[in-house]
Amino acid sequence: MKSLSEIDTTSKRASRAVGYSWGEAEEIGKNIRLLELFGFAGIKTLNRYYSVKVNKKFSDLSLINKNNKSEKHAYCPIILGINFLDQIRSLEKFKIIKFNKVSFPLLLLPFLSRSSEIIGKKINIKFDKIEFLLNLNVNISSNLLNQNCPEIANNVEIKIIENKDSFSDKEWQSLYKLSEETFVEETDSLKQSAAGAGLTDND
């Protein structure tokens, strides 16, 4: 079994060999490592993308807006991902960002996962009845079970999820009231044994 370090290094070198800059290749290496760590087919997808990239054109998107539409070719997931990661602080205000078509969308996921960590919010991505939830770069959950991710994703929607409790105030108060039963009433003997008690002030 290949180590994550080997996956990172080999992906980086292969990416430089197909024409990406060393800086871009560094990002790709980190991302394929993440995909494999989370149980997704990073190496397989990157191999497929590079074999197709030789004879096929993809669109680059420098400045990402709320709605993004490529008239000709599908967006390159790597350049799109790098720019998304770089612009996440400004993109956060849009709440929902849309693209009409993205090639090899699995390669975009780790960029979104890392973006989620930067802003401290979960990010949801949907396309073609497939959905991923990216949780602060800790894990990626999906309804993509025992299926291959498509090579072209149409009508991609990325949603920034605002942080909120998953429970009601009533549920919280009920649990908190139960927790109060463990509280110990402060007594003189406890005060005497508390940290710092009994120390002599020499000033």
Q: 97: closest CA among 154, 152, 160?
A: 160
Q: What angle do CA 33, 16, 91 make, to 5 degrees?
A: 60
Q: Which residue has the tokens 């990073």?
A: 42
pTM score: 0.84
pLDDT of residue 198: 52
pLDDT digits (tens, 9 = 90+) for 85-94: 999 999 999 9
pLDDT of residue 91: 96
pLDDT of residue 197: 52
Q: Where are the domains of the chain?
A: 4-160
pLDDT at 167 over 70: yes
pLDDT digits (tens, 9 = 90+) for 50-66: 999 988 999 999 999 99
Give 147 or 27, the one with higher predicted confidence.
Answer: 27
Q: How confident is the model at residue 201 (pLDDT cuts 50, 70, 90)?
A: low
Q: How confident is the model at residue 18 (pLDDT cuts 50, 70, 90)?
A: very high
pLDDT of residue 202: 54
Alpha-carbon distances of 50 from 20, 58, 62, 117, 118, rounded to whole Å = 11, 12, 21, 28, 28
